[in-house]
Each structure stands twice: as C-alpha cells, then as structure tokens.
Amino acid sequence: MSLRKMSARPATSRGSLTLSRGLLLGGLLALWMLALVARLYHLQIIQYVDLLARAERQQQRTVEIAPKRGTIYDRQLQPLAMSLAVDSVFAVPSEIPNPEMVADLLAPALGLGKGDLLGRFKTFKSFCWVKRKVSAGESARVRDLNLQGIYFQKEMKRFYPKGELAAQVMGYVGLDDHGLGGLEYRMNDTIRGTPGRVLIAADARRQSFRSTERPGQPGKNVVLTLDENIQYIAEKALADAVVKWRMASGAVVVQNPQTGEILAMAGYPTFDPNDFGKSAPEARINRAVSWVFEPGSTFKLVTVSAALEEHLASPGEVINCQNGSIVLAGHTIHDHEPYGGLTVRQVVAKSSDVGAIKLGLRLGEERLYRYIRGFGFGSPGGIELPGEERGLLQPPAHWSGISIGEISMGQEVGVTALQLVSAYSAIANGGVLHPPRVVGDVFLGDSHERAAPAMGRRLVSRETAEEMKEILAEVVEEGTGITARLAGYSAAGKTGTAQKIDSSGTYSKAYYVSSFVGFAPVRNPAVTILVVIDSPVGGYYGREVAAPVFRSIAEQTLGYLNVPQDNPSLWPQVASSTPAGPPRQKRGGRAGFPSQMSEPPGAALSPVRTVSFAPRLLPERGGTLILDNGPMVTVPDFSGRALRQVAEECQALGLDLNIRGSGVAVEQMPPARALVPAGSHILVRFAR
C-alpha cells in the first residue's frame, strides 16, 4: 500500500515539471513572438519612412536637370540672352570595365586631368559627372570613343549672342544655371523655372538598370526697355572715349524722360558674360547703379530749381558773385573765373559756384535737404537691378558750417548715375519724376505679367521746369556745354567737373570725375543722356571730356528714333535735279543733315540712294565758316548693310555717323565713293 503511494508521487511530480516547462516555453515563445511583432511594427510603421528613404538612397540616384531659362529680349524682341541644349557627359563607374583605360582616353578628349577622372570613378559607383555642358567638338570626340559606361545628358547652357553688349545689365549664370549677377541674379526665380530630375535605379551590385526623367518647367521670358541699337551706340561712344582719354572707368545712361524707361546702360570696363570667369571682378560691376561719386556742377540743377520753385529767385535776377570768391565758416571758396554780377541763367551757364552757394543760402539747410531728397537723392530708385546704391547724403543735423555751400555746388554729396539722369529727366518731363525701370514685360506663352508703370511724382511745377529747360539750353548754346551742341536738334544740359578725394582724405589735384547730363530736343525731350567719366588723362573738364560723348550718342539716338529735327542749321538739301545751294548759317551752327530724306511714293528701298553733299564746315570766331582741310576719306557704299556694320566701318574711317530708322541701310549722304574730310558727318537711313 505504501509502495504504491510512494511510486505515484514521483509520477505526479514529473507531470507537474513537464507542465511547468511547457508553460515556460510557451511563455518564452509568446514573448519572442510579441517582441518580433513589436520589432516588425517598429520597422514597418514607425521607421517605415526613414528606412524607405534610406533604401531609395541606396538603390537610386536623383540628378537635378536645370530647366530652360527664359529668354531675355530687348524692346524690339531681339534676344540678348538665351538657353541652348548642349551635351553633358556622365559616367556609371560600375559599368566601366577598365577605369584606367577610360580615364586615359577621356582626359585628353575633354581637357581634363587623368588622375581627377580616375579618382571620381573609384569614389562613385552608380553616377558621376565627367564634364558638363561640353562643346560640340568635345561631344563628337567622346561619341567617337564609344566607351562603355559613359553616357550623355542634355542640359541647357546660357548663351549671350551679342557678347559684351549690355553685359553688366544682363549679368551671368553659373554652371548650375543659377544667376550670379545682373538681371540673371535679380530675376533668377522668374527666369530659371522649375528644375527637372533624372532618377537612375541600381541593383544590389550597383548595376544601373533603369533611368526615369521628370521634365521641369521652363522659365519665363523677360522683355527689357533697353534698345539693342541705342545700347550699341552708347557703348561705342564710351569705348571711343576710353581710347581718347584713357579713363579708369565710366558710365552712360540713356533714359526716356516721359516714362522712366532705360534705353541704354553702358559701363567701362566691361566683360563677356559667355566667359565671365576670365574677367576681373571690377569689370562685372554695373557702375550706373553701384558707383557713388560727387556730381559737381551737374548738381546745381537741384539748387537752382528749388530756388525758382520757392520764388526766392528769378531767371533774370542778377546775383553778385563777388569777383569769384565767398567765405563760409572761415573757408574761402573760389570760382574757376572771377565773375561779378551774373543772372541766375548765367550762374548755371557759366557754372558759377559762388552764385549757386548764394542760392543755397537763400534756401537754408532744411529746405535744400528736402528738395534733394525729393529729387531722389539719398535713396535707391527701385530699378530691377541688384547692387543699387542709395548714395551719400547726411541730414542737416550732421552738416558743418560749410556744408550748405559745398552741397549747393555738388560736393559733400554722393550720387549714382541713375539718380542723376532721373533728376534731369524730371525737369525734361515738366517737373514729374518717373521711377527708372529696365523691365518692360514678363511672359510665358500667352500669359503676360506686364506691370503698369509707377505713377510719376511731381517735384516742381511745370513753370519751374520750363524755366530750367531754358536755362539748361543756354548752357549748351553759349555756356560751358557748348561742345554738346547737336546737329539739327536743340539740347539742354549741364557739365560737371568734380575733384576726387585721394588717399590723404583731401581733394585731389590730379584726379577728377567729368560728366555731362542733358536732354534733347528741348521743347519735347525724347531722351535724357548722362555721361560720367572717372579719372580721364589729358583733360578733365566735363565740357571737353564728357560733353562730346553726349553729342555723339544724342545725334545718333535721335536719328535712330526718327525724332523730328527742331533746330536745322547748316544742313545740306536732299538731292534733286539741280545741285543744292549753299548751307544756311545760324549763330554757332554746325554742319549737319536734314531730319528726313525725301522718297517718292512707291520708291524702292534698295539700292542706297545718293544725295548731294555739302563740305563739312566748322565755326570760327566771329561766326565765319572755314573748310576743314584735314585728310580726305572715300565714303563706302553702305547699301544693304546692318547698322552695326555701318557703325564699325565709319569708326574705322573716322567718320561721324548719324542714323535714321532701323534695319538695313537704304539711303545715305554723301553718296558712295565721294571724297570727304576725315571727321565729316555721314547720314545713313535704315529700313526693314
């Protein structure tokens, strides 16, 4: 009995032990399953996005493809900047059987270093650029090699078909098609568009097996207010001044005073945006908006306009110029000549500093400062270009005892070329200032974003503006701006000659900023033109350095725009059956050409018609006229030639070109093969 009981107990214990082990094992299994589920949940739910991204990074590579940048046009829809599709060479190193041999062959074909190429092949497996945006010749050489693992991808390359023309306005772009200067930088987001992408998929062995391209959206096109031909005229005239005066730098701005539109903006030195890397940084600066300089006597426009507007002076009032000197706060300021009594007109015409200072003293500091700010000085004008400076202008609280005199005559104040030309445009426009602008339209397809021009802001009354027009016209007729007289057109403007501050902090006796700013014709101005030249050599007065450049640009631009002449003097007549009579004489006149050349109805535009020619006459003291007996030049036949070709040939021959219209040459005077003195005026009419 007891033996059975003894034998039964161990059996029960063994069963309990087995059950406990089973439960323990089941519990462990359950915990393992729970941990596995938790891990799967963590991987599939919590870390899903991160792991998927990591897998995609390992399995595929995304290459961003720059979209086609929008085209930049001038106002006549002539392209100034465009994008062209070119080949870029890339490699899939995992597919290259012999990287060293491929590097040996590719390096000389693309002008690369073998070591650099081989290093890239070893570093990357699925993708690496070999060379982007290659030339047509380089692309052909690589294709002829037919190398395994080397592929081509089309990319857009920026191209500037006019080269240096308007380079500082246009700017330039980098290898990734991001704008780095000028409009290309300022309007990069608008012009660039949305980038495309190429997805290259690879397997576990890094072998590429699929690529997918997602096209981007092209950028928007921009139409500028610049005119290609006027820009060329301005740049050519500035380049001629560089040769003559060996200046350090310079700028020209041509503006439509009635709208504020910039028709030309030129600077020296300049650069080729197609190869901007070879240019010096200073050549890429747009001096029209970034260069701050003391304006000198051109700033007297503000002082005199304010005095007239406030009825503190009248054009005919005589100002005692104290024999050319005045003392302010213990400092004596001298005129360039010892003037006595001068009318307000003469103060401007003869550029009397003493007279301007006396008008500034009548205004007082606060009132003068208010007019300076009203004319736009001391703040940026808001043009669509980067790097625009506000200038230098201290409030009256920071002026010294001599400041009101210095500022009245254009010292102790810093301006930009754009500010100065806009101020003169306001007077030309009857006292209303239109903000300067260089962008006329933005469009993509049929969608246009032409912004309405900003409303003009009145600075002075129309009466004051008309009085200032007459005063500035007198500057050109018989004052310091006499060298700015135009053939066939009236003109108004002001010279400026400002000493630069040297390294010692005092005004230099050797370096000057010479300028001329004016508009034409006087009664109904079509253009305002500013010429400013830094540190000319061999001369420094604005009348001898800058005014002739103004004249050259103005005559050609007005002719190109077909602006009717309002001051014909010494103009030869259009050819007829009888020779033209002698030219008419007018006070201070110059040899010129008629505003229009007659053409019978239905007459053909080609070949170029021949027109009678009067010898070039030059004014002499007393108004008598003498022949210019310089070297003689044979006039070429310009028939059918483009404006730029005609301009370049006239420049080479030393002939002064005046143009009418646009397109190709259809009419000229004097006729082809005529002998004329070097420096003679040549009138050529163009038509489309």
The residues carrying an active-site annotation are 297
State how far the Cα of 347 lies from the Cα of 331, in Å rounded to an integer.
21
The beta strands (E) that lie in 205-334 are given as: 208-214, 221-224, 249-255, 262-268, 318-320, 325-328, 331-334
Q: Which amino acid is at 656?
A: D
Residue position matching structure tokens 């890397």: 277
Structural contact between residues 516 and 494, judged by C-beta atoms closer than 8 angstroms = yes
569-606 core/surface letters (b: 16 or more CB in 10 A; e: else): bbbbbbbeeeeeeebeeeeebbbbbbbebeeeeeeebe
Handedness of CA 491, 418, 251, 556 (dihedral sign): negative
State how far the Cα of 108 lies from the Cα of 101, in Å rounded to an integer.
12
Structure tokens at 168: 């500082």
State how far the Cα of 232 lies from the Cα of 228, in Å rounded to an integer.
6
State how far the Cα of 24 lies from the Cα of 313, in Å rounded to an integer.
112
Structural contact between residues 416 and 517, judged by C-beta atoms closer than 8 angstroms = no
Structural contact between residues 306 and 363, judged by C-beta atoms closer than 8 angstroms = yes
State how far the Cα of 636 lies from the Cα of 436, in Å rounded to an integer.
40
39-73 core/surface letters (b: 16 or more CB in 10 A; e: else): eeeeeeeeeeeeeeeeeeeeebbebebbbbbbbbb
Burial class for 632, CB neighbours closer than 10 Å (0-12, 13-18, 19+): exposed
Calculate the dihedral angle through the C-alpha atoms of 328, 329, 330, 335, rounding to the nearest 10 degrees.
Answer: -20
Q: Which residues on adjacent β-strands are paired with residue 497?
A: 514
Q: Residue 607: is the preceding peptide bond cis (ω within 30°)?
A: yes
Helix, strand, coil percentages (3-state) for the chain, rounded to 5, are 35, 25, 40
Structural contact between residues 212 and 63, judged by C-beta atoms closer than 8 angstroms = no
State how far the Cα of 224 lies from the Cα of 442, in Å rounded to an integer.
9
Q: How many CA atoms lie within 13 A of 671 on its CB side?
A: 7
Residue (of 474, 261, 485, 236) closest to 349 by Cα position: 474
- DSSP letters along 408-422, please? HTT-S-BB-HHHHHH
Handedness of CA 424, 522, 528, 268 (dihedral sign): negative
